[in-house]
Protein backbone atom coordinates (compact mmCIF):
# COMPACT_ATOMS: atom_id res chain seq x y z
CA UNK A 1 0.00 0.00 0.00
CA UNK A 2 1.38 3.40 -0.95
CA UNK A 3 0.39 5.43 2.05
CA UNK A 4 1.71 8.83 1.00
CA UNK A 5 -0.82 9.36 -1.76
CA UNK A 6 -3.09 12.30 -1.08
CA UNK A 7 -6.63 11.48 0.10
CA UNK A 8 -9.02 10.39 -2.58
CA UNK A 9 -6.44 9.07 -5.05
CA UNK A 10 -7.57 5.54 -4.34
CA UNK A 11 -11.30 6.01 -4.54
CA UNK A 12 -12.12 3.88 -1.50
CA UNK A 13 -11.12 5.08 1.92
CA UNK A 14 -11.99 5.07 5.61
CA UNK A 15 -12.22 8.37 7.44
CA UNK A 16 -11.27 7.96 11.07
CA UNK A 17 -12.50 10.88 13.16
CA UNK A 18 -9.99 11.63 15.89
CA UNK A 19 -12.33 14.16 17.47
CA UNK A 20 -14.97 11.46 17.85
CA UNK A 21 -12.38 9.14 19.33
CA UNK A 22 -11.57 11.85 21.85
CA UNK A 23 -15.25 12.40 22.64
CA UNK A 24 -15.85 8.68 23.09
CA UNK A 25 -12.83 8.36 25.36
CA UNK A 26 -14.10 11.32 27.38
CA UNK A 27 -17.53 9.71 27.79
CA UNK A 28 -15.92 6.45 28.94
CA UNK A 29 -13.61 8.26 31.36
CA UNK A 30 -16.53 10.12 32.92
CA UNK A 31 -18.38 6.84 33.36
CA UNK A 32 -15.55 4.90 34.98
CA UNK A 33 -14.54 7.69 37.36
CA UNK A 34 -11.50 6.68 39.37
CA UNK A 35 -10.71 3.61 37.27
CA UNK A 36 -8.28 4.01 34.40
CA UNK A 37 -8.97 3.20 30.76
CA UNK A 38 -6.92 0.60 28.93
CA UNK A 39 -7.55 1.00 25.20
CA UNK A 40 -7.80 -2.26 23.31
CA UNK A 41 -6.09 -1.71 19.97
CA UNK A 42 -5.74 -5.31 18.80
CA UNK A 43 -6.55 -6.22 15.19
CA UNK A 44 -5.23 -2.88 13.95
CA UNK A 45 -7.46 -1.06 16.43
CA UNK A 46 -10.54 -2.85 15.11
CA UNK A 47 -9.66 -1.71 11.61
CA UNK A 48 -9.09 1.93 12.57
CA UNK A 49 -5.29 1.76 12.33
CA UNK A 50 -3.50 0.81 15.56
CA UNK A 51 -0.50 3.09 15.19
CA UNK A 52 -2.33 6.34 14.47
CA UNK A 53 -5.10 5.58 16.94
CA UNK A 54 -2.68 4.68 19.75
CA UNK A 55 -0.48 7.69 19.11
CA UNK A 56 -3.51 9.94 19.35
CA UNK A 57 -4.82 8.22 22.48
CA UNK A 58 -1.41 8.40 24.13
CA UNK A 59 -1.39 12.11 23.38
CA UNK A 60 -4.74 12.28 25.25
CA UNK A 61 -3.08 10.76 28.29
CA UNK A 62 -3.97 7.09 27.86
CA UNK A 63 -1.40 5.09 29.81
CA UNK A 64 -2.39 1.54 28.91
CA UNK A 65 -2.99 -0.37 25.72
CA UNK A 66 -3.90 -3.99 25.10
CA UNK A 67 -3.03 -5.95 21.96
CA UNK A 68 -3.51 -9.58 21.00
CA UNK A 69 0.04 -10.59 20.20
CA UNK A 70 3.70 -9.67 20.36
CA UNK A 71 3.83 -8.39 16.77
CA UNK A 72 1.04 -5.92 17.46
CA UNK A 73 2.84 -4.75 20.60
CA UNK A 74 6.18 -4.39 18.82
CA UNK A 75 4.56 -2.32 16.07
CA UNK A 76 3.29 0.16 18.64
CA UNK A 77 6.66 0.38 20.36
CA UNK A 78 8.36 1.01 17.02
CA UNK A 79 5.97 3.90 16.46
CA UNK A 80 6.44 5.90 19.60
CA UNK A 81 4.06 4.29 22.07
CA UNK A 82 5.81 4.25 25.43
CA UNK A 83 2.71 3.60 27.56
CA UNK A 84 2.17 0.16 29.07
CA UNK A 85 1.27 -2.46 26.44
CA UNK A 86 -0.34 -5.69 27.60
CA UNK A 87 -0.24 -8.69 25.26
CA UNK A 88 -3.43 -10.65 25.83
CA UNK A 89 -2.83 -13.91 23.97
CA UNK A 90 0.41 -15.00 25.55
CA UNK A 91 3.95 -15.43 24.29
CA UNK A 92 4.70 -18.19 21.78
CA UNK A 93 7.79 -20.31 22.46
CA UNK A 94 11.03 -18.50 21.55
CA UNK A 95 9.37 -15.06 21.48
CA UNK A 96 10.13 -14.31 25.14
CA UNK A 97 13.21 -12.31 24.18
CA UNK A 98 11.22 -10.17 21.75
CA UNK A 99 8.65 -9.45 24.46
CA UNK A 100 11.44 -8.23 26.73
CA UNK A 101 13.16 -6.30 23.97
CA UNK A 102 9.99 -4.33 23.26
CA UNK A 103 9.19 -3.98 26.95
CA UNK A 104 5.76 -5.60 26.62
CA UNK A 105 3.73 -6.85 29.57
CA UNK A 106 2.79 -10.45 28.88
CA UNK A 107 -0.16 -12.57 29.99
CA UNK A 108 0.37 -15.94 31.63
CA UNK A 109 -2.36 -18.51 31.08
CA UNK A 110 -0.82 -21.80 32.14
CA UNK A 111 1.77 -23.34 34.42
CA UNK A 112 3.73 -24.55 31.37
CA UNK A 113 3.83 -21.05 29.92
CA UNK A 114 4.99 -19.77 33.29
CA UNK A 115 7.83 -22.29 33.48
CA UNK A 116 8.89 -21.53 29.93
CA UNK A 117 8.98 -17.78 30.67
CA UNK A 118 11.07 -18.38 33.78
CA UNK A 119 13.44 -20.63 31.82
CA UNK A 120 13.90 -17.91 29.19
CA UNK A 121 15.55 -15.78 31.90
CA UNK A 122 14.08 -12.64 30.40
CA UNK A 123 13.06 -9.80 32.68
CA UNK A 124 9.35 -9.35 32.05
CA UNK A 125 6.23 -7.87 33.59
CA UNK A 126 3.33 -10.31 33.65
CA UNK A 127 -0.40 -10.23 34.23
CA UNK A 128 -1.93 -13.52 35.30
CA UNK A 129 -5.20 -14.34 33.59
CA UNK A 130 -7.71 -16.10 35.80
CA UNK A 131 -10.30 -18.30 34.12
CA UNK A 132 -13.51 -17.16 35.77
CA UNK A 133 -15.81 -18.96 33.34
CA UNK A 134 -14.96 -18.07 29.74
CA UNK A 135 -12.90 -21.25 29.34
CA UNK A 136 -10.87 -19.76 26.51
CA UNK A 137 -7.61 -18.92 28.26
CA UNK A 138 -6.71 -18.45 31.86
CA UNK A 139 -5.52 -20.17 34.99
CA UNK A 140 -7.62 -22.12 37.46
CA UNK A 141 -7.56 -20.86 41.04
CA UNK A 142 -5.03 -23.50 42.05
CA UNK A 143 -2.77 -22.73 39.07
CA UNK A 144 -3.06 -18.99 39.67
CA UNK A 145 -1.54 -19.36 43.10
CA UNK A 146 0.97 -21.93 41.94
CA UNK A 147 2.16 -19.64 39.13
CA UNK A 148 2.56 -16.74 41.50
CA UNK A 149 4.69 -18.85 43.81
CA UNK A 150 6.83 -20.17 40.97
CA UNK A 151 7.48 -16.62 39.82
CA UNK A 152 8.81 -15.55 43.23
CA UNK A 153 12.52 -14.97 42.93
CA UNK A 154 12.38 -15.19 39.11
CA UNK A 155 13.02 -12.31 36.72
CA UNK A 156 9.30 -12.11 36.04
CA UNK A 157 7.38 -9.58 38.04
CA UNK A 158 3.62 -10.02 38.50
CA UNK A 159 2.12 -6.59 37.88
CA UNK A 160 -1.50 -7.55 37.32
CA UNK A 161 -4.28 -10.12 37.43
CA UNK A 162 -7.24 -10.16 35.13
CA UNK A 163 -10.14 -12.16 33.77
CA UNK A 164 -12.58 -11.86 30.89
CA UNK A 165 -16.37 -11.71 30.92
CA UNK A 166 -18.02 -14.11 28.50
CA UNK A 167 -21.59 -12.84 28.78
CA UNK A 168 -21.52 -9.18 29.71
CA UNK A 169 -23.80 -8.20 26.82
CA UNK A 170 -26.55 -10.62 27.82
CA UNK A 171 -29.73 -9.38 29.44
CA UNK A 172 -29.35 -11.93 32.20
CA UNK A 173 -26.62 -10.70 34.50
CA UNK A 174 -26.27 -13.83 36.55
CA UNK A 175 -23.28 -15.42 34.87
CA UNK A 176 -21.36 -12.14 34.76
CA UNK A 177 -22.06 -11.57 38.44
CA UNK A 178 -20.66 -15.02 39.21
CA UNK A 179 -17.54 -14.29 37.18
CA UNK A 180 -17.06 -10.96 38.95
CA UNK A 181 -17.45 -12.51 42.37
CA UNK A 182 -15.08 -15.37 41.58
CA UNK A 183 -12.44 -13.02 40.21
CA UNK A 184 -12.70 -10.68 43.16
CA UNK A 185 -12.60 -13.48 45.72
CA UNK A 186 -9.64 -15.22 44.13
CA UNK A 187 -7.49 -12.13 43.58
CA UNK A 188 -8.48 -9.93 46.54
CA UNK A 189 -5.58 -8.95 48.79
CA UNK A 190 -3.36 -11.25 46.79
CA UNK A 191 -0.62 -8.83 45.88
CA UNK A 192 -1.28 -9.30 42.18
CA UNK A 193 -0.80 -5.65 41.33
CA UNK A 194 -3.56 -4.08 39.22
CA UNK A 195 -6.78 -6.00 38.69
CA UNK A 196 -9.02 -5.72 35.64
CA UNK A 197 -11.93 -7.62 34.09
CA UNK A 198 -14.41 -5.32 32.29
CA UNK A 199 -14.72 -5.17 28.51
CA UNK A 200 -17.04 -2.58 26.92
CA UNK A 201 -20.25 -4.35 27.89
CA UNK A 202 -18.82 -4.97 31.36
CA UNK A 203 -19.03 -1.22 32.01
CA UNK A 204 -22.64 -1.84 33.02
CA UNK A 205 -21.47 -3.42 36.28
CA UNK A 206 -20.29 -0.89 38.81
CA UNK A 207 -18.24 -3.53 40.61
CA UNK A 208 -16.48 -4.64 37.40
CA UNK A 209 -14.36 -1.53 37.04
CA UNK A 210 -11.47 -2.47 39.38
CA UNK A 211 -8.19 -0.65 38.60
CA UNK A 212 -8.93 -0.25 34.93
CA UNK A 213 -11.31 -1.31 32.20
CA UNK A 214 -10.24 -2.81 28.86
CA UNK A 215 -12.41 -1.14 26.27
CA UNK A 216 -12.49 -1.80 22.55
CA UNK A 217 -15.77 -1.54 20.68
CA UNK A 218 -17.26 1.29 22.75
CA UNK A 219 -14.18 3.42 22.16
CA UNK A 220 -14.76 3.05 18.42
CA UNK A 221 -18.31 4.26 18.85
CA UNK A 222 -20.49 1.20 19.37
CA UNK A 223 -22.09 0.77 22.77
CA UNK A 224 -22.87 -2.96 22.97
CA UNK A 225 -25.40 -2.47 25.78
CA UNK A 226 -27.00 0.95 25.19
CA UNK A 227 -29.96 0.09 27.42
CA UNK A 228 -27.66 -0.78 30.30
CA UNK A 229 -24.87 1.77 30.09
CA UNK A 230 -25.62 5.44 29.52
CA UNK A 231 -22.45 6.17 27.61
CA UNK A 232 -23.13 8.15 24.49
CA UNK A 233 -20.63 7.28 21.77
CA UNK A 234 -20.57 7.79 18.01
CA UNK A 235 -18.92 5.73 15.25
CA UNK A 236 -15.35 6.84 14.66
CA UNK A 237 -14.99 5.34 11.21
CA UNK A 238 -16.83 6.26 8.03
CA UNK A 239 -16.12 4.14 4.97
CA UNK A 240 -16.47 5.82 1.59
CA UNK A 241 -15.89 5.35 -2.11
CA UNK A 242 -16.14 7.26 -5.35
CA UNK A 243 -17.37 5.57 -8.51
CA UNK A 244 -15.09 4.04 -11.10
CA UNK A 245 -17.81 4.35 -13.67
CA UNK A 246 -21.43 5.45 -14.03
CA UNK A 247 -23.30 3.93 -16.91
CA UNK A 248 -26.76 3.77 -18.42
CA UNK A 249 -27.99 0.28 -19.29
CA UNK A 250 -31.22 -0.81 -20.99
CA UNK A 251 -33.87 -2.94 -19.32
CA UNK A 252 -32.90 -6.62 -19.49
CA UNK A 253 -29.18 -6.07 -18.80
CA UNK A 254 -27.47 -8.69 -16.65
CA UNK A 255 -25.18 -7.32 -13.95
CA UNK A 256 -22.01 -8.87 -12.53
CA UNK A 257 -20.94 -12.53 -12.24
CA UNK A 258 -23.40 -15.27 -13.10
CA UNK A 259 -26.07 -12.77 -14.19
CA UNK A 260 -27.96 -13.11 -10.92
CA UNK A 261 -29.54 -9.69 -11.47
CA UNK A 262 -31.17 -8.49 -14.65
CA UNK A 263 -32.43 -4.93 -14.88
CA UNK A 264 -36.17 -4.61 -15.24
CA UNK A 265 -36.06 -1.01 -16.38
CA UNK A 266 -33.70 1.35 -18.11
CA UNK A 267 -31.17 1.92 -15.35
CA UNK A 268 -28.17 3.93 -14.28
CA UNK A 269 -25.58 1.91 -12.48
CA UNK A 270 -22.44 2.94 -10.62
CA UNK A 271 -19.42 0.70 -10.17
CA UNK A 272 -17.65 1.21 -6.83
CA UNK A 273 -14.15 0.01 -5.91
CA UNK A 274 -15.31 -1.99 -2.88
CA UNK A 275 -15.53 -5.76 -2.87
CA UNK A 276 -15.40 -8.73 -0.57
CA UNK A 277 -11.60 -8.44 -0.42
CA UNK A 278 -12.18 -5.07 1.23
CA UNK A 279 -14.52 -6.57 3.79
CA UNK A 280 -17.78 -5.84 2.02
CA UNK A 281 -19.32 -9.28 2.44
CA UNK A 282 -20.28 -11.33 -0.57
CA UNK A 283 -23.49 -12.02 1.36
CA UNK A 284 -24.54 -8.51 0.32
CA UNK A 285 -24.93 -9.74 -3.27
CA UNK A 286 -28.37 -8.58 -4.44
CA UNK A 287 -29.26 -7.54 -0.92
CA UNK A 288 -26.96 -4.91 0.51
CA UNK A 289 -26.92 -1.23 -0.17
CA UNK A 290 -24.76 1.85 0.13
CA UNK A 291 -25.84 5.46 0.49
CA UNK A 292 -25.31 8.38 -1.84
CA UNK A 293 -26.68 11.84 -1.05
CA UNK A 294 -28.45 10.09 1.84
CA UNK A 295 -30.33 7.81 -0.52
CA UNK A 296 -30.26 4.05 -0.84
CA UNK A 297 -28.33 2.54 -3.75
CA UNK A 298 -28.93 -1.20 -3.87
CA UNK A 299 -26.22 -3.69 -4.73
CA UNK A 300 -27.09 -5.26 -8.07
CA UNK A 301 -25.87 -8.80 -8.69
CA UNK A 302 -22.89 -10.42 -7.04
CA UNK A 303 -20.38 -8.60 -4.89
CA UNK A 304 -17.03 -9.27 -6.58
CA UNK A 305 -13.58 -9.31 -5.02
CA UNK A 306 -12.79 -5.69 -5.83
CA UNK A 307 -16.01 -4.02 -6.94
CA UNK A 308 -19.76 -3.76 -6.61
CA UNK A 309 -22.35 -2.37 -8.98
CA UNK A 310 -25.11 -0.30 -7.39
CA UNK A 311 -28.36 1.14 -8.68
CA UNK A 312 -28.32 4.91 -9.04
CA UNK A 313 -31.27 5.26 -11.40
CA UNK A 314 -33.18 7.45 -8.95
CA UNK A 315 -30.24 9.16 -7.31
CA UNK A 316 -28.51 12.22 -8.65
CA UNK A 317 -24.86 11.19 -8.62
CA UNK A 318 -21.71 12.12 -10.50
CA UNK A 319 -18.19 10.72 -10.62
CA UNK A 320 -17.40 13.11 -7.75
CA UNK A 321 -20.14 11.81 -5.47
CA UNK A 322 -18.99 10.22 -2.23
CA UNK A 323 -20.81 6.96 -1.61
CA UNK A 324 -21.01 5.80 1.99
CA UNK A 325 -20.56 2.17 2.83
CA UNK A 326 -20.50 2.99 6.54
CA UNK A 327 -21.65 6.23 8.09
CA UNK A 328 -23.82 7.34 11.01
CA UNK A 329 -27.03 6.49 9.20
CA UNK A 330 -25.86 3.03 8.16
CA UNK A 331 -23.20 1.96 10.60
CA UNK A 332 -21.34 -1.25 11.40
CA UNK A 333 -24.12 -2.36 13.75
CA UNK A 334 -26.63 -2.14 10.89
CA UNK A 335 -24.39 -4.05 8.49
CA UNK A 336 -23.73 -6.63 11.19
CA UNK A 337 -27.44 -7.09 11.87
CA UNK A 338 -28.08 -7.66 8.16
CA UNK A 339 -25.22 -10.17 7.97
CA UNK A 340 -26.13 -12.01 11.17
CA UNK A 341 -22.88 -11.02 12.82
CA UNK A 342 -21.57 -8.38 15.21
CA UNK A 343 -20.08 -4.92 14.59
CA UNK A 344 -16.67 -6.11 15.82
CA UNK A 345 -16.41 -8.43 12.80
CA UNK A 346 -17.61 -5.82 10.30
CA UNK A 347 -14.99 -3.29 11.47
CA UNK A 348 -12.12 -5.80 11.63
CA UNK A 349 -12.93 -7.00 8.14
CA UNK A 350 -12.35 -3.64 6.46
CA UNK A 351 -9.34 -4.35 4.30
CA UNK A 352 -6.02 -2.56 4.12
CA UNK A 353 -6.82 -1.27 0.63
CA UNK A 354 -9.20 1.29 2.07
CA UNK A 355 -6.73 4.04 2.92
CA UNK A 356 -7.24 5.24 6.49
CA UNK A 357 -7.51 9.00 6.60
CA UNK A 358 -7.42 10.71 9.98
CA UNK A 359 -9.66 13.75 10.22
C1 LIG B 1 -11.03 -7.93 22.76
C2 LIG B 1 -10.93 -7.95 24.24
C3 LIG B 1 -11.41 -6.88 24.99
C4 LIG B 1 -12.20 -5.72 24.41
O5 LIG B 1 -13.53 -6.13 24.17
P6 LIG B 1 -14.65 -5.09 23.69
O7 LIG B 1 -15.92 -5.87 23.81
O8 LIG B 1 -14.35 -4.72 22.28
O9 LIG B 1 -14.61 -3.93 24.61
C10 LIG B 1 -11.16 -6.89 26.36
N11 LIG B 1 -10.51 -7.92 26.93
C12 LIG B 1 -10.07 -8.99 26.24
C13 LIG B 1 -9.35 -10.10 26.93
C14 LIG B 1 -10.28 -9.04 24.86
O15 LIG B 1 -9.87 -10.11 24.18
**Mean pLDDT of the region 240-268:** 98
Cβ-contact 192, 128 below 8 angstroms: yes
How far apart (Å, rounded) are the C-alpha atoms in residues 135 and 147?
18
pLDDT band at 9 (very low <50, low <70, confident <90, very high): low
pLDDT over threshold 70, residue 235: yes
Which of 42, 162, 222, 240 is labelled catalytic? 42
Q: What is the pTM of this model?
A: 0.96
**Domain residue spans of the chain:** 18-215, 237-358
Q: Could you read off the pLDDT of 279-312 as tens digits, one per residue? A: 999 999 999 999 999 999 999 999 999 999 999 9
Classify 23 in phi/psi space as left (phi over 0), alpha (psi -120 to 50) or beta. Answer: alpha
Q: Which fold has domain 237-358?
A: Lyase, Ornithine Decarboxylase; Chain A, domain 1 (2.40.37)
CB-ligand 1 contact for 187 (6 Å cutoff): no
Q: How far is the CA of 280 from the centre of ligand 1 (A)?
A: 23
Please tell me if the domain spanning 18-215 has the same topology as the one spanning 237-358.
no
How far apart (Å, rounded) are the C-alpha atoms in residues 288 and 306?
16
State the SS3 of the chain.
Answer: CCCCCCCCCCCEEEEECHHHHHHHHHHHHHHHCCCEEEEECHHHHHCCCHHHHHHHHHHCCCCEEEECCHHHHHHHHHCCCCCEEEECCCCCCCCHHHHHHCCCEEEECCHHHHHHHHHHCCCEEEEEEECCCCCCCCECHHHHHHHHHHHCCCCEEEEEEECCCCCCCCCCCHHHHHHHHHHHHHHCCCCCCEEECCCCHHHHCHHHCCCEEEECCCCCCCCCCCCCCCCCCCCCEEEEECCCEEEEECCCCEECHHHCEECCCCEEEEEECCCHHHCCCHHHCCCCEEEECCEEEEECCCCCCCCEEEECCCCCCCCCCCEEEECCCCCHHHHHHHHCCCHHHHHHHCCCCCEEEEC
How far apart (Å, rounded) are the C-alpha atoms in residues 130 and 142?
10
**Is the domain defined by 18-215 classed in CATH 3.40.50.300?**
no
Which of 102, 234, 257, 266 is labelled catalytic? 257
Instruction: Check if 42 is active-site.
Output: yes
Q: Which ligand 1 atom minimizes the distance to the CA of 46?
A: 8
Q: Could you read off the pLDDT of 202-232 as tens digits, one per residue? A: 999 999 999 999 999 999 999 999 999 999 9
Q: What percent of the chain has pLDDT over 90?
A: 96
220 versus 9: the higher-pLDDT residue is 220
pLDDT for residue 1: 41
How far apart (Å, rounded) are the C-alpha atoms in residues 92 and 259?
48
Q: What is the mean pLDDT of the chain?
A: 96
Instruction: Check if 257 is active-site.
Output: yes
CB-ligand 1 contact for 164 (6 Å cutoff): yes
Distance (Å) of CA 203 to CA 183, 209, 212, 219, 350: 16, 7, 11, 12, 27
CB-ligand 1 contact for 20 (6 Å cutoff): no
Lowest mean pLDDT among 36-40, 50-54, 226-230: 226-230
pLDDT for residue 2: 45
Q: How far is the CA of 263 from the centre of ligand 1 (A)?
A: 45
CB-ligand 1 contact for 217 (6 Å cutoff): yes
CB-ligand 1 contact for 204 (6 Å cutoff): no
How far apart (Å, rounded) are the C-alpha atoms in residues 74 and 67?
10
**Mean pLDDT of the region 142-168:** 97
pLDDT for residue 4: 53
pLDDT band at 132 (very low <50, low <70, confident <90, very high): very high
**Mean pLDDT of the region 341-346:** 98
CB-ligand 1 contact for 105 (6 Å cutoff): no
pLDDT for residue 190: 82
Nearest Cα residue to 279 out of 352, 350, 356, 355 = 350
Q: How far is the CA of 96 from the centre of ligand 1 (A)?
A: 23
Instruction: Give Rg (Cα) of the chain.
Output: 23
Amino acid sequence: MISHLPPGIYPCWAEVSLSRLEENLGAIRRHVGASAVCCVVKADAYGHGAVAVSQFLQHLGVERFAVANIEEGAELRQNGIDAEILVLCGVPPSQERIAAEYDLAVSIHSVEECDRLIASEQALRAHLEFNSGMNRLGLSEVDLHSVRERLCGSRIQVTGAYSHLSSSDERDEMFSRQQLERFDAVTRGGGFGVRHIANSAGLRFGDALFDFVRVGIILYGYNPVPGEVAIDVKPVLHWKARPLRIDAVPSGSPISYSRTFITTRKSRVATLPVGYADGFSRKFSNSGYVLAEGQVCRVLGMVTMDMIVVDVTDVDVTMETEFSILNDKRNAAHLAADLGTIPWEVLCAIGARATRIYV
